[in-house]
């Protein structure tokens, strides 16, 4: 056994597979890898050959994390014994910008908001709105922008484009607003910047003790200062949106959007602007992040796997030919070709490819839970009150003992059975891109609708190609920084 000593404080702890510091525990290792947390946790799981491990804080603290990627543990925590593993007060402190939104609350508060969100999402009017708004953003902004780029032979940051598409799509369905954030000029957005700054600060809060980021917040420096400024910006803008919406409804100006449905609901909570602010912000961020992350990684994976792109295009061509023959005998494909969202629902391979992309790159790579009562998880791990549990969804998709030896391959076929039928998310108890159990994402169908509108228009009308010589990360990302999609 080799040792590496630094001032007598550091040595290698082989039983953990991660660096252990005397007096400080394994916390420095966590902080050191805070900018690549999902990848680092995956490396630890691989080195240990197990589905769970502990991260200990300093000896003078009670800080202790259980990190797990074991599907049975995750299902037990999120579904089987759901009530024993709430978000906990620490979670709400970390995500304080979300206030009392659905992702921050537990128990009765969560049930009320879940019911209200469910009522909004399942309405036929809202589903139609999502489909129409997604198609409108694709047709009026996304395709013209990419056409402009292609004609000029420019290189673009597709991650920025996907984020802008997600921003415009979601702000229209939630607030009924049209910001044109994806116009050819690529305008700036005060709200988009504020949300980005807030999320960056929150990411770093996850990787440091509460007392440390609270101290930095008190000093008003670094990312904590940006978070504070972002919080104020969001408050001002959302108050403006809510006030304007209330005025419009009083004047009889009706729009089909989520905020309107909340305001018009009979629930007393809807009378509070603070409640509406927290609810809409949570849903806006969740929708934007899911779509943006899902799209960029999908495009990158498809660009690196020509066989998948070919099969998707063939499926789209068959759909187009069928729809044309169904209407008349003249088959004429015009450019640009924008697909109707209703026709896209039956595409098996496209849906499988999106699920496979989400398996490898889930929009929420990590989740955290607290512990109410002492419990033993299915893999034998003992958890106690006061302990934090980190669920590594990112790592789940990269474990051969979970998905097979080909787990790192982008393989949509794993989602299709021998009869050519799609295996649904419910058939995959090891897939957690949309969470699981009572907190399963209510907007997953909406997310697929928005993503399908974008990917079909982009793939059918353009060819996405990674810039030659640009450094990209292999699957899985190993000894590198947190992977970011390349410009294309």
What's the confidence (pLDDT) of residue 376? 97
260 located within any domain: yes
What's the confidence (pLDDT) of residue 10? 36
18 located within any domain: no
**Among residues 112, 110, 106, 440, which one has the least CA distance to residue 262?**
112
55 located within any domain: no
Structure tokens at 263: 């305001």
Asked if 126 and 120 touch (Cβ cutoff 8 Å), the reply is: yes
User: Residue 488 pLDDT more than 60?
Assistant: no
**Among residues 163, 171, 222, 172, which one has the least CA distance to residue 193?**
163
- Report the mean per-residue pLDDT for the chain: 86
Q: Which residues are annotated as a binding site for heme?
A: 441
Domain extent for 368? 69-461
44 located within any domain: no
Structure tokens at 370: 């607290």
User: Residue 374 pLDDT more than 60?
Assistant: yes
Please name the residue that has the structure tokens 């009083």: 250
d(CA 223, CA 270): 33
List, for residues 35-67, the tens digit of each pLDDT value.
788 999 999 999 989 999 988 877 666 778 899
**Among residues 89, 57, 130, which one has the least CA distance to residue 454?**
130
Please name the residue that has the structure tokens 């449905």: 261
482 located within any domain: no
Question: Mean pLDDT throughout 98-111?
Answer: 90
CATH of the domain at 274: 1.10.630.10
In the chain, how many domains are there?
Answer: 1
471 located within any domain: no
d(CA 486, CA 488): 6
With bands split at pLDDT 50, 70 and 90, how would you rate the model's confidence at 9? very low
Q: Which residues are annotated as a binding site?
A: 441
List, for residues 377-404, the tens digit of each pLDDT value.
999 999 999 898 999 999 999 999 999 9
Q: When comparing pLDDT for 207 and 346, which is higher? A: 346
Lowest mean pLDDT among 14-18, 204-208, 278-282, 447-451: 14-18
Question: Mean pLDDT throughout 142-164?
Answer: 92
24 located within any domain: no
42 located within any domain: no
């Amino acid at each position: 056994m080799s040792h590496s000593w630094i001032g007598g404080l550091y040595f290698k702890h082989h039983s953990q597979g991660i660096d252990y510091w005397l007096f400080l525990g394994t916390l420095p290792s966590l902080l050191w890898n805070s900018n690549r947390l999902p990848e680092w946790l995956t490396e630890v799981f691989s080195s240990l050959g197990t589905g769970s491990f502990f991260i200990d804080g300093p000896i003078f603290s009670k800080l202790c994390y259980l990190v797990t990627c074991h599907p049975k543990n995750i299902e037990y925590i999120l579904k089987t014994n759901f009530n024993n593993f709430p978000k906990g007060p620490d979670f709400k402190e970390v995500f304080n910008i979300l206030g009392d939104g659905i992702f921050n609350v537990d128990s009765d508060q969560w049930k009320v908001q879940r019911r209200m969100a469910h009522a909004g999402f399942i309405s036929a009017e809202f589903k139609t709105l999502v489909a129409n708004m997604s198609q409108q953003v694709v047709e009026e902004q996304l395709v013209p922008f990419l056409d402009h780029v292609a004609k000029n032979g420019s290189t673009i940051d597709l991650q920025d484009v996907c984020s802008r598409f997600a921003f415009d799509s979601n702000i229209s369905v939630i607030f009924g607003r049209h910001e044109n954030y994806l116009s050819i000029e690529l305008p700036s957005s005060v709200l988009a910047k504020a949300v980005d700054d807030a999320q960056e600060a929150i990411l770093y809060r996850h990787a440091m003790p509460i007392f440390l980021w609270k101290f930095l917040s008190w000093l008003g420096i670094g990312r904590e200062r940006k978070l504070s400024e972002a919080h104020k910006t969001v408050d001002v803008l959302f108050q403006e949106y809510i006030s304007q919406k209330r005025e419009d409804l009083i004047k009889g100006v009706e729009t089909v959007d989520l905020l309107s449905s909340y305001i018009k609901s009979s629930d007393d909570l809807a009378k509070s602007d603070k409640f509406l602010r927290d609810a809409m912000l949570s849903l806006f961020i969740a929708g934007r992040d899911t779509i943006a992350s899902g799209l960029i990684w999908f495009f990158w994976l498809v660009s690196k796997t020509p066989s998948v792109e070919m099969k998707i295009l063939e499926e789209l061509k068959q759909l187009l030919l069928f729809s044309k023959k169904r209407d008349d005998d003249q088959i004429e494909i015009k450019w640009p070709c924008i697909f109707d969202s209703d026709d896209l629902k039956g595409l098996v391979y496209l849906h499988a490819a999106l699920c496979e992309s989400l398996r490898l790159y889930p929009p929420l790579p990590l989740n955290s839970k607290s512990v109410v009562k002492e419990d033993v998880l299915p893999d034998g791990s003992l958890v106690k009150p006061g302990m934090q549990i980190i669920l590594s969804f990112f790592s789940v998709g990269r474990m051969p003992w979970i998905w097979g030896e080909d787990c790192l391959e982008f393989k949509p076929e794993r989602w299709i059975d021998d009869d050519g039928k799609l295996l649904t998310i419910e058939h995959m108890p090891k897939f957690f891109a949309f969470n699981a159990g009572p907190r399963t994402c209510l907007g997953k169908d909406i997310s697929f609708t928005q993503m399908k509108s974008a990917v079909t228009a982009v793939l059918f009308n353009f060819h996405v190609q990674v810039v030659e010589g640009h450094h990209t990360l292999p699957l899985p990302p190993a000894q590198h920084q947190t992977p970011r999609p390349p410009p294309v």
